[in-house]
Amino acid sequence: MHKKKALPVLFAVMFLVMVGFGIIIPVMPFYAEEIGATPTQLGLLMAIYSFMQLLFAPMWGRVSDKIGRKPVIMIGIFGLALSFFLLAISSTLWMLFAARVIGGFFSSANMPTVMAYVADITSDEDRGKGMGIIGASIGLGFIFGPAIGGIFSQNNLSVPFYLAGSLSIITFFFVLFVLKESLTAEQRNNQLRQKTPLRKALQGPVAILFVLQWFVSLSLAGLEATFAYFAYEKAQLESVELGYIFMIMGLAGALVQGGLVGRLTKKFGEGSVIQLGIIISAIGFALILFIDSFLTAAIFLTIFGIGNGLIRPSVSSLVTKASPTSYGRTTGLLSSFDSLGRIIGPPLGGLLFTIAVGLPYILGIALSVFAFILYRVYKSGSRGQVPRPSSE
């Protein structure tokens, strides 16, 4: 059965996609500055990408329910390649913005469609494992991508963009020739017949899971935006040391998602894993306030990363089980809430940091407490409801 082979293929696809995306991360600020972007314009350049994902992820999810997962994944990857090549040839600010708008629009197809694919091919029992494997591929891609981008940017800042575009084209053909479609024509017709208004997905207990995802994304984005300043203030850590710290954190998160999440969700259920992840994340946020060296920063941030790695795939798994709508529409909506957190988190974290350097992490603790309470509310509200069966 091709379903047994599909998860490793999806792992490779998302790894390649995220390496391509990660390649441009260390280069983008310098590239935009060279073209003439101010710090404010650079912030807008970053935000517009997440804003496009916020708007269009649900649309792509619905499209994948109608026409199948594979064509939507291919469209997303090809569009992403186009945006990278446009960035490479950009000579004015409006070209940069146009490339980022195109990239955000097309890349918003990838994550919800891949998550919906995982939901298609996994049983309820193995759903958490499948989502964890995809989370691990994303984490590893973010580790290797920026390192590659930094190396290839030394002589020419446009080289990483050509490299990212080329890698996306390779990924496109990999999907074309290796990945099989997960939805039969009959399943697509069934999903069209059970079409549910989008607002229904935001009603009832399952809506709480979307808000919980937003809290998690918001607190993570706030940390990522301010930690470099915080670490320098507390322990005089420089960019190279921060790179190693985030690499250690990313590896720990990837190992947790790729190996531990599946076992834990199978044994204890997604709910218990989500609550454990929230508690560990809150402890991580609290410990970060006390960093005073490279070692403590690496350990405390890794504790946070492990907690975060437990939450995300477990929420994705639970949402697809509990949602009344089709998988693509549901995962698209979840991606939108994730993007909303990434849009609001950095400016909010920066504002709090200017008031007091520890405030973004105190907010993280508070959001973790709220997320824990939210899950308890979800659990009490959904008690007695029968989870939606897998579409296998």
Q: What is the mean pLDDT of residues 304-328?
A: 86
Both 190 and 200 in one domain: the answer is no
Question: Torsion angle of alpha carbons 359, 362, 368, 374, nearest 10°?
Answer: -80
Burial-class residue 98 by CB neighbours within 10 Å (0-12, 13-18, 19+): middle
Would the CA dihedral through 233, 236, 238, 242 be positive or negative? negative
Both 212 and 280 in one domain: the answer is yes
Task: State yes or no: pLDDT of 389 exceeds 80.
Answer: no
Task: Tell me, yes or no, whether 389 lies in a domain.
Answer: no
Boundary-marking domain end, from 195, 223, 250: 195
Task: State yes or no: pLDDT of 324 exceeds 60.
Answer: no
Both 8 and 66 in one domain: the answer is yes
Residue 348's nearest CA partner among 258, 224, 240 is: 224
From CA 307, how far away is CA 136, in angstroms rounded?
A: 14
Most confident of 9-23, 33-47, 284-298, 308-322: 284-298
Boundary-marking domain end, from 195, 228, 247: 195
Task: Tell me if 269 sits within 8 A of 155, measured CB to CB.
Answer: no
Q: How many domains does one find in the chain?
A: 2
Backbone angles phi and psi of 370, in degrees to 5: -60, -40
Q: For position 186, what pLDDT does the model report?
A: 67
| DSSP calls for 215-236 | HHHHHHHHHHHHHHHHHHHHH-
Q: What is the mean pLDDT of residues 207-227?
A: 90
Q: For position 228, what pLDDT does the model report?
A: 85
Task: State yes or no: pLDDT of 184 exceeds 80.
Answer: no
Task: Tell me, yes or no, whether 284 lies in a domain.
Answer: yes
Boundary-marking domain end, from 145, 161, 195: 195
Q: For position 237, what pLDDT does the model report?
A: 86
In the numeric block, the tokens 């979800």 are attached to 378
Both 15 and 129 in one domain: the answer is yes
Both 352 and 379 in one domain: the answer is yes
From CA 290, how far away is CA 285, in angstroms rounded?
A: 10
Task: Tell me, yes or no, whether 354 lies in a domain.
Answer: yes
Two tokens, residue 2: 């091709």
Work out the end-to-end distance of the chain between its first and last CA atoms, rounded to an integer number of angstroms. Answer: 12
pTM: 0.86
Q: What is the mean pLDDT of residues 113-125?
A: 89
Q: For position 198, what pLDDT does the model report?
A: 57
Both 183 and 243 in one domain: the answer is no
- Which residue range(s) make up the domain with 269? 196-383
What value, to the nearest 5°, has the Cα angle with vertex 18 and ends 16 and 20?
A: 70
Give the up-direction half-sphere exposure of residue 159: CA atoms within 13 A in the CB hemisphere. Answer: 10
Please report, for the domain that includes residue 38, its CATH number.
1.20.1250.20
Q: What is the mean pLDDT of residues 30-58?
A: 87
From CA 90, how far away is CA 198, in angstroms rounded?
A: 38
Residue 195 is which amino acid?
A: K
Both 127 and 230 in one domain: the answer is no
pLDDT digits (tens, 9 = 90+) for 55-87: 999 999 989 988 999 999 999 999 999 999 999
Both 377 and 260 in one domain: the answer is yes
Residue 368's nearest CA partner among 253, 220, 249 is: 220
Task: State yes or no: pLDDT of 391 exceeds 60.
Answer: no
In the numeric block, the tokens 């560990």 are attached to 280
Q: For position 387, what pLDDT does the model report?
A: 45
Task: Tell me if 313 sits within 8 A of 135, measured CB to CB.
Answer: yes
Task: Tell me, yes or no, whether 392 lies in a domain.
Answer: no
DSSP state of 390: P
Question: Beta-carbon neighbour count of residue 68 at 10 Å?
Answer: 21
Q: Name which of 104-118, 205-219, 372-386 the model is least confident about.
A: 372-386
Task: Tell me if 71 sits within 8 A of 116, measured CB to CB.
Answer: no
